[in-house]
Structure 1
Amino acid sequence: SAHGARRLHWASMVGLGAAVIMVFLLLLTSPILSIRQVDVEGAVYADPVRLAEVVDDLDGSAILTADLDAAKKKLLEIPWVRQARVSMHLPSRVTVEIVERIPIAFFRAVDGFNRVIDRDGRILDVIEGDPTELTPIIGTGPNLSAGSFAEQPFLGSAQLINALPYELLQRLKSVSVAPTGDISLSLSENIEVLFGSPDDFQIKLVGIVNEIKRQGTNRYTVLDVSSGEPSVR
């Protein structure tokens, strides 16, 4: 009868749906779709031990249910990592793409060890020696651990170094921070730039560049832009 045919049809549909769900559940846990390869790209200075922990957590997991967001979060906790992307490639591969932070300066802390920082003031490393390729920030800083962030005036110093135009960056020897929070720059030819508080970067930097050009070959040892109006002496 028509009624019986409809019941048979619905029973078939329910059975088919159950079979599809069962197959899907089997696939979720099947070794066929487990992560067997994790490729890491862009890691140079990032802690290999912490990277390996993330890779180990992913390796062997079911690829369709692996928590890629948690893996990304763990990667971003590594001091040297600025950006991270974790993506799956069926049936069994995951790629980890890392963009590392760029060191820009260092300062010596109370404990006598140097803190290497990037433009955001993030502490990338704690080391003994002076890294000659980085700009020294002169002034004793706090004992911060790798992964934490420096506050003013060390943050402002890093931001200032990052903002310097090429012609000033080439002449930069060091940055000094005062207990008041003011910043000064030591340039080649024995010129000290009194920058003042770490603010109004654009106005002050334009003032420095223009004043150096205006002075030409005139002799001076101090260029003061702390008020926003450049002056020399």
Structure 2
Amino acid sequence: MKARNAFLVLLTAGVVGCAVWLIFFSPVLGVRSIDIVGNVTVPAERIEQQAGVPELHPLATVDLAGVEARVMQIRQLASAKVDRVWPGTLKIEVVEREPIAAITAGGKAALIDKGGVVIEIQNTVPPGLPTLKVDRPAAGDPTTMAALRVIQSLPDDLAAKVRGVRASSPEGVSLELSDGRSVVWGGADRGADKARILKTLLRRKASVYDVSSPDVVTLK
């Protein structure tokens, strides 16, 4: 009986050891493919290269947080989530940053997202993207962030009419329309009310529309 028990213990230990080796050390359950989803403009090859996971690396020992951190070094990405899909796939799900405005300087256009992060530099401002004009454009700058919140709050039909956004302070945001008219918007508060009122006011002839205080609007 003792011999049998000892044999069973050894057999169990051998099975466990074999399983541990297969899962954590051998290429049998290694990374054989990397599935990248959510990317539109960033090539999958670039994301895979940035992930830095060798082929057949044991899937169980892939440092998921480390892969996410490396992938997030790609400026165009807003988020990245990495998961294991057994038996041999590493899944990387990304969300790309979307440009909502452009800042021009030195003959170039820096495309920025809602957080003020520069996504990329282009030679010209893409069609449909408003130009942002602030004294010290930067992520975290109160004036910059207020202007970006205003841009985000604009309904599509109004946003299509805006070619530029200027801000002298967080409460001093104005819109430059494509037909030459301008709108004194004020701060980022009450965006829906301002947009609704402005839609009606634009039917009236004027060069400047002040909706900074939606309760008392003026035209010039």
In the superposition, the TM-score normalised over structure 2's length comes to 0.82
Find the aligned partners of 2:43 and 2:74 in 1 and give their Cα distance: 7
Contact kept, 8 Å, 2:151 with 2:159, in 1: the verdict is yes
Structure 2 gaps, min length 5: none
Shift of 1:136: 0.9
- Where does residue 123 of structure 1 map in the other structure? 118
Mapped pair 1:108 → 2:95 = no
RMSD: 2.8
Percent identity over the alignment? 25
Q: Which moved more, 1:171-180 or 1:27-36?
A: 171-180
Mapped pair 1:193 → 2:183 = yes
Mapped pair 1:204 → 2:185 = no
Shift of 1:117: 0.9
Shift of 1:138: 2.6
Equivalent AA in structure 1 for residue 173 of structure 2 = I
Equivalent AA in structure 2 for residue 196 of structure 1 = G
Contact kept, 8 Å, 2:100 with 2:152, in 1: the verdict is yes
Contact kept, 8 Å, 1:35 with 1:92, in 2: the verdict is yes
- Where does residue 26 of structure 1 map in the other structure? 21
Contact kept, 8 Å, 2:68 with 2:81, in 1: the verdict is yes
Shift of 1:194: 0.4
Deviation per CA, 1:60-113: give whole Å up to 9, x if none: 31111111232123223322112323233333222323221211111135x664
Q: Which moved more, 1:50-59 or 1:23-32?
A: 50-59
Find the aligned partners of 1:97 and 1:157 in 2 and give their Cα distance: 30
SS in 2 for 1:153: helix
Work out which of the two has the higher radius of gyration on C-alpha atoms and give 1 or 2.
Answer: 1
- Where does residue 92 of structure 1 map in the other structure? 88
Structure 1 gaps, min length 5: none
Mapped pair 1:17 → 2:4 = no
- Where does residue 226 of structure 1 map in the other structure? 212
